[in-house]
Amino acid sequence: MNSLDNIVSLCKRRGFIFPGSDVYGGMAGTWDFGPLGVMLKKNLMDAWWKFFVEDRDDMYGIDAAIIMNPRTWVASGHTATFADPLVECKECKSRFRADKIAKDINESVTTDEFLETHTKCPNCGKENWGPIRKFNMMFSTHVGAVLPDDNEELANKNIAYLRPETAQGIFVNYKNVVDTFYPDLPFGLAQQGKAFRNEISPRDFILRDRECSQMEIEYFVAPETWSENFELMRSLQHEFLEEILSLPKDKIHELEVPEADRAHYSKRTIDFMFDYPNGEEELMGLAYRTDFDLQNIARESGKSMEYRDKTTNETFVPHVIEPSIGVERLFLAILSSAYTEDEINGEKRVVLKLPENLAPYRFCVSPLLKNKPELVEKAREVYEKLKQKYGNITWDDSGNIGKRYRKQDEIGTPKCIVIDFETLENHTVTIRDRDTTEQIREDIANL
């Protein structure tokens, strides 16, 4: 059965994802990517970068600092509004995000509205709640050598934040890119990087954690063209998710976010929802941010964010379309779609049917028997040639060939190449397909 527990178990057993700081008992909301997880994650991020940046002429990449001037978050509204509704159980003192434990409420819920839902504490089962409090999710830190014990007033001036999103790193560099490259509108700035959110109750494996990787584009457009460019980005997201990543179309759903639930900067938002093993959850978002961010930066910094049209000489502040996707959420969507349990010749197996462009390893090379030097030598020769050509190749000579196949099925390797005694005679190898388990013979020169 394709359950979240099965996927979590596979991730740890095969080295995709481990609990953060596991040796010390872990740390809630943090996860470490193991050797195979790093490779799959890199393949995902590389596929996104190629599709949205390298293959287009209207995109530019940046990599902004994680710790930014605190005025960034004043201008963006995060200092004032980036907060979740925190509620505490008076019985067991457990704390939760109110809109995640009660039905039919959103993040703007009031204490009275929450109490009317008669929600019981998920921890102790009692219904005895304190008032709703707003909890700002930004992680704070101090820049420089001044600490509160030295001089509290000075230390407060040195407070900075780990960025809660990558978008503002793009917005603060908009003027730099315009001044140095002067690109034609519309154009986009793309960034991949870490973001940090002090979630009240991280849950559901890597779906809601405190440290994540984001891939975002801010697509700058003339104000009157926002609608057509919104539809362009909308279609591109579907193409990327369904054609490049091969996610099942029937598991992707669009949710038009009502005004009351939209972020403070958004005039229109579509959430792309996905059918995860634990239910439908947000996979990515597409937002029309208007000129909210650039106008706020202009007001806070005192510097003009206007763009001068090369044809009309008209000046205006561009509007922005933002596709934003969390890598971990995408990672889990890929895994949950690929995870399969079937039966081959009466034997049950687990197989990750990953697309070939995402699989950690493209091929696994094995000698039929590891105690036959002539087979091992020939297998090593084939392995080295394929390694030079494709890069992501693995070697496996542990156990019998059946166990090797089962291991490679579990980690998603599309093809296993086996060097046997016939190879020594005619230079052909056995190629075994992960999904069908069918085997063919092919000349080494054609690999």
> What is the DSSP annotation of 86-133?
EEEBTTT--EEEHHHHSSS--TT--HHHHHTTTPPPTTT----B---E
Q: How many helices (H) and strands (E) are present in the chain, helices listed first?
A: 15, 23
Instruction: Check residue 150 and give its pLDDT.
Output: 59
Pairing of strands 393-395, 363-367: parallel
Instruction: Check residue 147 and give its pLDDT.
Output: 62
- Is 156's pLDDT higher than 90? no
- Is 155's pLDDT higher than 60? no
Residues 52-72 pLDDT 10s:
999 999 999 999 999 999 889
pLDDT band at residue 9 under the 50/70/90 scheme: very high
Query: In sequence order, what are the beta bridge partners of 59?
Result: 188
Select from 3.40.50.800, 3.30.390.50, 2.20.25.90, 3.40.50.720 the CATH code of 361-446: 3.40.50.800
Cα torsion through 241, 245, 249, 250, rounded to 10: -110
Q: Do 254 and 273 form a contact (C-beta atoms < 8 A)?
A: yes
Instruction: Check residue 396 and give its pLDDT.
Output: 94
Helix pair angle (35-49, 327-338), 10° resolution: 110
- In CATH terms, the superfamily for domain 4-77+166-335 is Bira Bifunctional Protein; Domain 2 (3.30.930.10)
Sign of CA dihedral 195, 196, 199, 203: positive
pTM of the model: 0.87
Instruction: Check residue 2 and give its pLDDT.
Output: 66
- Is 135's pLDDT higher than 80? no
User: Coil, strand, or helix at residue 417?
Assistant: strand
Distance from C-alpha of 373 to C-alpha of 395, rounded to nearest angstrom: 15
Q: Which of 331, 342, 390, 322 is nearest to 40 (CA)?
A: 331
Mean pLDDT along residues 334-350: 90
The boundaries of every CATH 3.30.930.10 domain in the chain are 4-77+166-335
Distance from C-alpha of 392 to C-alpha of 129, rounded to nearest angstrom: 53
- Is 369's pLDDT higher than 80? yes
- Is 115's pLDDT higher than 60? yes
- Is 117's pLDDT higher than 80? yes
Distance from C-alpha of 396 to C-alpha of 384, rounded to nearest angstrom: 13
Q: Do 331 and 44 form a contact (C-beta atoms < 8 A)?
A: yes
The boundaries of every CATH 3.40.50.800 domain in the chain are 361-446
